[in-house]
Structure 1
Amino acid sequence: MKTEALINQIRKKQSFLCVGLDTDLEKLPSHLLKEEDPIFEFNKAIIEATQEFCVAYKPNIAFYEAYGIKGWKSLEKTIDYLNTHYPEQFTIADAKRGDIGNTSTRYAKAFFEELNFDSITIAPYMGKDSVEPFLAFKDKHTIILALTSNVGAFDFQTKKVDGQELYKMVLSTSKTYENPQNLMYVVGATKAEYLKDIRKIIPESFLLVPGVGAQGGDLQDVCKFGITENIGLLVNSSRGIIYASSDEHYASSAKEQAKKIQLEMKIELDKLK
C-alpha cells in the first residue's frame, strides 16, 4: 500500500486507529472453543465489528506461532480475509524480525509476498544489512523499533553512545539507508514526552504507537508531540479493544471501544483544520 492511500483512509474515517490482533486462546469466549478454528472466528468477528473505526490491523505473530501449524493457518486465513474483504486496511505483521542478508530477504518474502502484508516490524540492532532487504520491496513498509513502550527500553534505547541516545542514532542512521521512504518507526505511547525530539529527526515519517490503553499511554499527549500535517501516526490498541468483553458480546464490546477511541481521534484531527 502506498503511504498516500493510508493517509486518505485516515482522513476519510477520521481515525488513525490500529487494532492489534493479539489473539490468545486462553482469553477467548468459551463458546468459540467449540469452533474448528476459534482464533480465526474470533479475529473475523473483531474485524467485522471494528473495521469502520480503524485504518489498520496488526496481528502479533507470536500469538499465532505459539500454536504451530494450526496457528499459522489461522494467521493465513486472517490476512486473506482482510486482503479480500477490506483491502483498504493497512496490515502490519508484528514479527520483530532482524537478521542479515538472505535471511532478511526470506523473512520479507514470507510476509510481503506469501502472506501479502503491507508492513512488518523490524529490530534494527544488526544494522543496515538487516534492514535494507525489507526496504527493497515496492509499496511495502518496514517499521523499525526505535523507542518501545516497555520498561526494559531504558536498558539500552535511551543510553548515550558518543553523546547521543541510542534511539536517536537509530533514527538518524536509518535515514541513510536505501529506500528510506519505505520506513516507519515504533515509538511507544508511554514515551510520548520523547516525541518532540523524535520529530526533529524524522519530521514526516509515520509512527506506529503502541501502549495506548492497557499500557497507560495517553492519546492526547501522543498527538500533542507526534501528529503532523499528514497525521503521521498509527496508534495501536490491542487488549483494550479485543478483550473489552469475554462473553458472547465480545464483538459488540470491541466495537464500542473502537468507536470511543475513533471519536477521540476525530477531536485531535479536527485541531489540524
Structure 2
Amino acid sequence: MGFFEDLGARIEAADTVVSVGLDPDTDRLPDDVQDADLPRWAFNRRVIDATHEHAAVFKPNAAFYEDSDGWRALRETVAYAHGKGVPVLLDAKRADIGNTARQYAEILDYVDAITVNPYLGEDALQPFLARDDAGVFVLCRTSNPGGMDFQHLELAAYDRRLYEHVAERAAGWDDEYGNVGLVVGATAPDELEAIRERVPQLPFLVPGAAHRAGRRGR
C-alpha cells in the first residue's frame, strides 16, 4: 500500500486525524533528558509513549535534527514511531534541481511522507512524486503571516491567486502520481475552505489547528 492508504487505515483504527509534532528544541528540553546519550531522542520517546494512541501521524521537523546527533535521534525516533504502528511525515519543505533533489528524496527510504516547496516547479519535485510508496505534501497556503507576501498574488493569466494555482497544479500531480496532499494553514480558514472546494480530493495537512482551537477556547 501507499502512504495515504496506510494513513487512512491508521485514522480509522485510532479514530483520530491528529498530527503530533516532534520538534525538540535543545535549549528547552527538560533537565532529566539533558544527560541522555541523545537528548532529543529521549524526549521524543517520551512524547511518542504519551501520544501514540491518539496520533494519526508523527511529524518531526527536519530543522531540529540537522547535525550528527540529530540525525541519529531522528532515525531512532522514526523506528520507534513505526514500532508503535504510526507513520512518520518529515516536515522538511524540500525541493531542488537534478541530483540534489534526488538526494533529498532518499530520506523517503526511512520516513513515510515529506513536505515539499513547489516554487521550483514540477521537475524539482519529480524525485519525490515518483515515490509511489510515499506521501508528498505541497506547501500551498501556509500559516505564517509572511505567507501573504507571495501566496496571495493575483495571477492575471490564470484569474486566480498563486496559492489557488498551486492547489490546481498539485491536483494535477496527484492525478498522475496518486500520492499528493497539500499544506494549508488553519490560520487562514476562509482560504482553507476555498481550497477544499477547489480540490476536494486532496488530503490536507493543517498546521495551526490546535493553536486556533486554543484561541477559540479562550
TM-score normalized with structure 1 length:
0.73
1:94 aligns with 2:91: yes
Q: Which of the numbers 164, 170, 173 marks the counterpart of 1:168? A: 164
CA distance in 2, matches of 1:91, 1:105: 20
Displaced runs of 4 or more, over 6 A: none
How many residues are aligned here?
211
Which AA in structure 2 matches 1:136? A
| Alignment gaps of 5+ in structure 1 | 222-273
CA distance in 1, matches of 2:170, 2:20: 27
CA deviation vs aligned residue, 1:17-65 (integer Å, no higher than 9, x gap)? 0100011111111121111111101101110110001110011010111
| Contact 2:114–2:137 (Cα < 8 Å) also in 1 | yes
Report the CA distance between 1:196 and its aligned residue.
2.2
1:55 aligns with 2:56: yes
Equivalences for residues 196-207 of structure 1 within 5 A: 196-207=193-204
CA distance in 1, matches of 2:11, 2:155: 37
The aligned residue for residue 136 of structure 2 is 142
The aligned residue for residue 17 of structure 1 is 18
1:72 aligns with 2:67: no
Higher relative contact order structure (alpha carbons within 8 Å, sequence separation ≥ 6): 1
| Contact 2:185–2:206 (Cα < 8 Å) also in 1 | yes
The aligned residue for residue 260 of structure 1 is none
Superposed CA RMSD in Å reads 1.7
Percent of paired sites with the same residue: 36
| Alignment gaps of 5+ in structure 2 | none
Report the CA distance between 1:177 and its aligned residue.
3.0
Which AA in structure 2 matches 1:124? P
Change (3 A) 1:2 1:93: closer
CA deviation vs aligned residue, 1:72-106 (integer Å, no higher than 9, x gap)? 111111112222x12x3121111111112222111
Equivalences for residues 179-194 of structure 1 within 5 A: 179-194=176-191
1:112 aligns with 2:111: no
